[in-house]
Every structure is written in C-alpha cells, then in structure tokens.
Structure 1
Amino acid sequence: MTHGDAAERTGRGEAWTVRLVHSLAVGPAARRRRWTPAGLGVFGASLALVVFGGLATDRLLSIPTLPGNPAWTVAGLVLVLGGLGLSAWCAGLFARARGTPVPVNPPSELIQRGPYAWVRNPMLTGVFASLVGTALLLRSPSMVLLWTPAYLLLHVLELKWVEEPELERRFGVAYRAYRDAVPMFLPLPRPEAVRRIPPVCALVAAASALVGRLRFRRRHVGAALITEDGRTFRVFRHLS
C-alpha cells in the first residue's frame, strides 16, 4: 500500500466517524438519550484504564513509587479538587443548554461562556488535572509519565479528527472563528483572549502590580547628605 492509499483510507475513516457522530448529534432526542449512557461508560472506563494501568505498570516493571512528599500530596489534592470543580462547572453549562458532554448528545448551541471563553475544552482540562493529581496522590510514576500523557494524546487526536470536524459541520463559520480565537486546553496569552479578560481580573492584576512596586520601593530607606561644597548625595540602605 502506498502512502497516498493510506492517506486516502485515513481520510475516508475520518469522514465516516464524523458522519456517524454528526448523525447522532443532530438526530432525534430519544436516540441521543439512548446513546448517552454508552458514551459515559466509555469515558469512565478510559479513566479507570489510566489509573489501574498506571498502577499495574508500576508493579509489573518494579518501578519505585514517587517520594512521599507532603507538598506533592497537597498539589495532588489541589489538582483533583480543582479539576473536578472545573469539569462540574462545564457539565452544568451543558445541562442548562439541554445537552451533555457526550459528543453524540451535545447541546444545540455553541457554548462560549464561562470557562469556554478561555479554552475550547475546559472539561478535559479538568479531567487531565484530576488525573495528574490522582497520580501524585497514588505516587504512580507510570501514571504521571506514561498513561496520562498517552490519554491526552488520544484525546487530542479524537478532537482533531472527529469532534472538531463535527462541530465545524454543525456550526460552520461560528465554530471556525471560535476555534481560531480560543486555545484547546490552556488559556494561552492570545490577543483575542486578552480582550476577553473580565474587568475584575484586570483590576486584580493591576492592583497586584502596584503592590509589588510599592513593596520594592519600601525595601529601601534613603538619607540625603550635603557636602561642604554644596553637592547633595542620597545614600540608600537595603532593609532585607
């Protein structure tokens, strides 16, 4: 098989999966509801595979566990709780729009508010954060370095090959503009994102910068010295 044949087959496969997901996403509500438990089951099974796969890999390869550092435990808890909270926020937005996070039963509108104003896939950002936090709590090197990155890579491929083409097919120009303006997982500093910064966040950032400048200035105490020829010098003493 030539490279061109392989690319053509891959393209046909991508188109087939996009057509399948699209037909379910815009199909009758009863059919979408029937497929929702299956989608949730696959998602839950994939998370369990990452966790137990990481632990099994550590045991089979006799990989030492991560050090029991209290700071890592705190970081793990923060990541798990923060990730779960972010994912729950996203699920609530989907529910209010009469949809679910499952691609075959999505909301009828393109959600661009809340965390979706900052990244296109905040629910997955929360899931990835929770997985890393779980790995730190379980002290599993394989889960941190192998299984979670592999899970992330598979999701990126699925998004690029299936979900995003389906969203573009369903919402057209609106989704293309959203995709071009908003990052996939992390709120990177793009001009479009900067313009969407809420005023309260901008105010907090400005206040933090001002406090930093004041702290820097207060760390020095100066005294003026006048010499016999009338010249003035200022001597600074560092407080720290």
Structure 2
Amino acid sequence: MGSDGRYVLNGDWVVSRPGTYEAMGTRVVYTRDASPEETLRAAGPTSHDLLLQVLLQEPNPGIEFEFWLPREHYIPFQAQVQALGWSLRQPQPLDMVRPPAPSAIPARTLTLAPDPCPPCPDTRGRAHRLLHYCGSDFVFQARVLGRHRQDQETRYEVRVQLVYKNRSPLRAREYVWAPGHCPCPLLSPHREYLLAVRRLVSPDGTQDRLLLPHAGYARLWSPAEDSRARLAARRCPL
C-alpha cells in the first residue's frame, strides 16, 4: 500500500497477477508461481513510504526482507540497531558502482550541497506513540502549508483536517512551533501528517502556542497511522 492509502497490488481481497507495478517513484516486481513463495523487489529509491501488509490464512512459512539506506542515513541507523541488539546482514554500506561516462560526453564532477540538518533520531514504536499521545493536548491530522525558520525556532502553517484529541477548540488554520533551526521531526511542506502537540502559554499570557516537542510525534498520515491513533485513544481517553 502506498502512503496515499491505495493498494499497489493484492488489495481489497483481489489477487494481482505477477508483473511489474509502478509505485512511489519506483517499480515493484511481483512474482508468484505454484509454490507458496512470493517475492517483491523494488530497485528504488522510493519517493514516499510503502506499507507491506501480510494476510495469513495458513501457517506462516516465514518472511525475509532487506533494504538499502542512503549512506548519510546508514551510520545513525546502524547505531540504533546495535543498541537494540539486532543483527545486520549488511556490515557496512556498499558503494554504488556507476558506469563510466561515454567518451563523447566530457565528464563532469557534481558537487552536492551538504544537508544543513543532520538526520533525526528514530522515534518509532508503540511506547513512543502512547507517550506523546497521552501527554499531548492536541492530536490531529494536518497538511503543512508552509515552513518558516525564525532564529532558533521553526514555525509551520498547517491546515487542520481531522481532530483525534483536543482540550480546546482548534481553528481550520493553525501555527505549530518547533524548537530549533533544525527541528526533529522535520515536516515537509505540502504533505499530510498526524501530529501530537502541546499548548504552551507564556507566564504573562502574551503567547499562546501549539508546540511540537523535539523528537515528538509526527508521522506521515496514512490509513495505518489513523488506525494506530485510534488505538492509542482507547488507552488515553480525553
């Protein structure tokens, strides 16, 4: 399933034929034969999230998967995996082998601009979701309309689309503030997120803000994320 909630293949109780499917900026090759084994291969890179769902109607023979990360994301990911005690089949990032440039075209050296913000820590997981859902004043689905960096803060203009939890009324358009010039998580304009934010009122009452804490809860909205939010609401009633 793509991040837009639409099935790429084998969705809505319809079994797709083996073949190649376009999805999230890449091609997914689906193979299936008389054996119980099915395979999915995507060369990537993907432009949005892909959600893999498994429907079991008989004993599970096992699931094996692997994926590749960009070099700049691999070292932080490796450190987190080692802290969790997981094992990696890929001991180190592999350099991509690029074909030589044709002799008729002069070779050019491309200089990539460095990313001004380092990767954010991985804060996924049920415990993290419940912690922020329960401790937040507002949980809602919003589309990011714009982002403005101001001194050591980042201000997002968002359009509220669906409210899961609110301790006071929300307007159709709100500003959400995040600490730091490089906040974590970093929200991208023109994308929809599920946000858990707090209300911050200054002691003198002159400022009343919606605050997205550092390493707070912000996930790209999807039907699966919607289900997780509704499950969290049962554990953390208003």
Query: TM-score, normalized by length of structure 2?
Result: 0.22
Query: TM-score, normalized by length of structure 1?
Result: 0.22
Q: Higher RCO, 1 or 2 (CA under 8 Å, sep at least 6)?
A: 1
In terms of fraction of residues, the more strand-rich structure is 2
> If you compute each CA radius of gyration, which structure gives the higher value, 1 or 2?
1
In terms of fraction of residues, the more helix-rich structure is 1
